[in-house]
Amino acid sequence: MRKQIIVANWKMNLSNIEAESLVDEILKATLSLKDNQQVVFAVPFPYLINIKNIIGNKNSFFVAAQNCASTKNGAYTGEVSSEMLDGIGIKYVIIGHSERRLYNHEDNKVLKQKVDLALESNIHPIFCCGESLGTRESNNQNTFVEHQLRESLFQLTTEQIKKVVIAYEPIWAIGTGKTATSEEAQEMHAHIRKVLSTQFGITTAESISILYGGSVKGSNAEEIFNNSDVDGGLIGGASLNATEFLTIIKSLK
């Protein structure tokens, strides 16, 4: 059975006190998570150890970094390596988020290096992919996303790809006033799974969790997660509100 995962991507938000309060409120809530369901807090680097300590050994809850370096070590001021993340017990890292691709000009080659290093450090990459508005309007979204997957993930072995979580971000539906339907989400998730099956086989592709990252809210989460190929969500703004985020978690299948 595939893992169903809700990832809270806080981005560059919250003070340390606000972060502690938010996690405390979520952990104290009544949640009946199944064995295959997980909640992951992707927090800013300064909060990683603190939030990890607050979670402790609580089942089904984990901490993720929002990025890692594309090199192992060296004179790279301001960077954080996957080895460093592994050293403090971090099990997940977001790689290739649309904002990193846009603002930091991270291309598929750089993201391939990050994926390889994360896996080498026993960290599960949460690999983001997705198309822009222009790509969607020209009906090239399937080819574009397939290209992202091929260039950054197809070097992996079958055992390695099983450790990767995919997050689909319809960039065209984030902050544009346009809305991705539940059907459009399912369509792309099914396409991603089909692309993975061409390289790694159907059985392996069926075991990989694919998350939806297109403005998921408490009001639409259940409908989106009900799709057969959607295994959870990469949640941005809604993850900063405990009530909203708890509603999303409870919307898992």
Averages of pLDDT over each 10 residues, the chain, 253 residues: 97 98 97 96 98 96 98 98 98 98 97 98 98 95 98 98 98 78 96 98 98 93 97 96 98 95
Kindly tell me the burial class for residue 23, based on how many C-beta atoms sit within 10 Å of its own C-beta (0-12, 13-18, 19 or more).
Answer: buried
The partner residues of 165 in beta bridges, in order of sequence, read 126
Question: Residue 211 CA to chain centroid, in angstroms?
Answer: 7
pLDDT computed for residue 139 by the predictor: 96
Q: Are 20 and 247 in contact (CB under 8 A)?
A: no
Q: How far apart are CA 192 and CA 222, in angstroms?
A: 21
Q: How far apart are CA 246 and CA 250, in angstroms?
A: 6
CB atoms within 10 A of CB 177: 5
| Residue 227 one-letter amino acid | N
Q: Are 172 and 132 in contact (CB under 8 A)?
A: yes
Question: Residue 85 CA to chain centroid, in angstroms?
Answer: 16
**Angle (nearest 5°) at CA 153 between 8 and 66:** 25
pLDDT computed for residue 177 by the predictor: 65
Q: What is the CA radius of gyration of the chain?
A: 17
Residue 18 sits in a domain of what CATH number? 3.20.20.70
What domain range is 150 assigned to? 4-249
Q: Are 41 and 23 in contact (CB under 8 A)?
A: yes
The count of domains in the chain is 1
Supply the residues annotated as catalytic.
Answer: 97, 169
pLDDT computed for residue 249 by the predictor: 98
| Residue 93 one-letter amino acid | V
